[in-house]
Structure 1
């Protein structure tokens, strides 16, 4: 069930002047003690397109790259948030994927969050930003529904959960990764009719590991994407310690899309505001996220 209208928390600033903003940022970044409040007031009160215009004005005015100056002058979580805000959405996703896959370990949850929730068009743009043409593909149908095919696909899903062979596993992936969200909504209803079981419960019973988590994430995003991200934020805040990278990634990525809706879903589901839970879990993080929520 979808909750509320889909709304973000950051909107284009009225009476926008990129030259004036660039000048104020230049002043805020001078010296040893930069004006963090001014950085927050400017960068979190402008939409991404406006922030990119500010960066261009900053380059022309000072002959320096704004992102590099932010990296040099800031530190810790504050730097991650401010720098993250300066990436166009596809580049930010690509940046997060690169960091998730570099080095000895892989942050599978980051990969799942991004690849399970982005639209076909977003994945195409992300792929161009990352140049991983063999590792990221956008093949999901858009807006297509076929009730007769939904019943057939539901049967395939049911068989895949029962048989669990490599071939059935592949067919399950093809359906969940290629069918449109609208079509999958019908498929999940047919699955319930055929099996008498919710598709998430069936996946949890039949598979394990990150493959299971990816499949479940796709189902949850199909059903209610803001609710999925509310759940991911709750997990990042409460499960096994505060996972700040997940919180930062979701707040930035969803700020102009559905963060306000995510916030409302969080309060309805968990009884406390997102800001309250972050503040209690990590008081030092309050300054960086208060402007978002």
Structure 2
């Protein structure tokens, strides 16, 4: 880790992210160091620089690198590195909303759809952010995100992901919403419609009151109700949505325990400038082990150093 990183009095210590602006920032110097590191395939230097600058600074570095060398930085990283470390550094070079668009696209390509990654992004991003991600998706892939989602999903789950893409933080009447949700699970076959309508069109404070009221009325946790009354993709989707309404940090912490490299990297890169400190705290509460320590038992080498730099410190 670059010791200069900690010398700034201008770093945004009030934020809940772990990756903050580097105070002694000289993009020309960084670009030249990166050029030399790419030629020598010096992964350590690339990790040290790219994990100690925030995203806005990395965009400046990439632009400066291209002006100095007449070459694309991402292409240089692809040529010099391989595997998960290459993937991670390329992810760090993408603007945040473009990165989320890439994650959505990857979740929908290949054999089968990665429903949980779709839900993770849709449930932990605001309506405004999702609009920006949708715009970035069209720019990058020349396709409409909503149409792509409809093509890769079906039934109630397709209705849920589309509703989340256009979610709103509107108001409602708590008891009326509790009654609607209770009625939807009272018949022979549970009706996902009210769950989709209500859980994607209210603010989180309102929804937490509704979910607590529903638990009191039914005498069991909402998660248990969903497990019993729904099946397949819509059950997964509604369970993730409920967990994210109740505590997005706890949900993301739980997801980090999967130990799947792409999942761990995806969450850490996505949240490192926003709320990774909260996710770290939730991870410690959930597992009894800090995320910083857990990473060391799962990864090694330069990839480990990069992830530790993003995580930033022990809890």
User: Normalization by structure 2: what TM-score?
Assistant: 0.82
Structure 2: distance between partners of 1:208 and 1:183: 26
Say whether 1:160 aligns with 2:184. Answer: yes
Distance in 1, matches of 2:137 and 2:196, equals 23
Secondary structure (helix, strand or coil) at the match of 2:253 reads helix
| Distance in 1, Cα, partners of 2:232 & 2:57 | 41
Partner secondary structure for residue 197 of structure 1:
coil
Aligned to 1:273: 290
Aligned to 1:141: 168
Q: Which residue of 2 aligns with 1:214?
A: 237
Contact 1:145 1:182 (C-alpha < 8 Å) held by counterparts: no
Distance in 2 (alpha carbons) for counterparts of 1:229 and 1:163? 33
Aligned positions of 1:81-92 closer than 5 A: 81-92=88-99
Q: Secondary structure at the match of 2:107?
A: helix
* 1:26 aligns with one of 16, 32, 35: 35
Q: Unmatched 5+ residue regions in structure 1?
A: 238-242
Query: Take 2:188 and 2:272, find their aligned partners in 1: how far apart are those partners?
Result: 39
Equivalent residue, structure 2, for 1:251: 268
How far, CA to CA, are the matches of 1:38 and 1:164 in structure 2?
Answer: 61
Residue 77 of structure 1 contacts residue 288 of structure 1 at CA under 8 Å; is this kept in 2? no
Aligned partners of 1:8 and 1:256 also within 8 Å: yes
Asked if the contact 1:6/1:261 (under 8 Å) is kept, the reply is no
Evaluate the alpha carbon distance shift between residue 196 and residue 292 of structure 1 in structure 2; reply closer, same or farther with a 3 A threshold. Answer: same
Residue 91 of structure 1: CA displacement?
Answer: 0.6
The answer for the alignment partner of 1:69 in structure 2 is 76
| Contact 2:168–2:200 (Cα < 8 Å) also in 1 | no
Return the match for 1:226 from 217, 228, 249.
Answer: 249
Describe the SS at the equivalent of 1:162: coil
Match of 1:182 in 2: 205
Match of 2:20 among 2, 8, 11: 11
CA contact (8 A) 1:8 1:255 kept: yes
Give the Cα–Cα distance (whole angstroms) in 2 for the partners of residues 154 and 202 of structure 1: 13
- The Cα of 1:145 is off from its aligned counterpart by 4.1
What residue number does 2:57 align with?
A: 50
Within the alignment, does 1:125 sit opposite 2:132 as a pair? yes
Contact preservation (8 Å) 1:251, 1:292: yes
* Structure 1 residue 157 displacement after superposition: 1.4
SS in 1 for 2:199: helix
Residue 133 (structure 1) shift: 4.2
Is 1:195 the counterpart of 2:205? The answer is: no
- Whole-Å separation in 2 of the counterparts to 1:258 and 1:67: 26
Q: Within 2, Cα distance between the matches of 1:222 and 1:6?
A: 21
Q: Check the 8 A contact 2:295/2:308 in 1, yes or no.
A: no
Structure 2: runs of 5 or more not aligned: 1-13, 139-144, 150-161
Aligned to 1:240: none
Q: What is the count of residue pairs matched by the alignment?
A: 277
TM-score (norm: length of structure 1): 0.88
Q: 1:164 Cα shift?
A: 6.5
Q: Which structure has more RCO (C-alpha within 8 Å, separation ≥ 6)?
A: 1
For 2:123 and 2:306, the matched residues in 1 are separated by 27
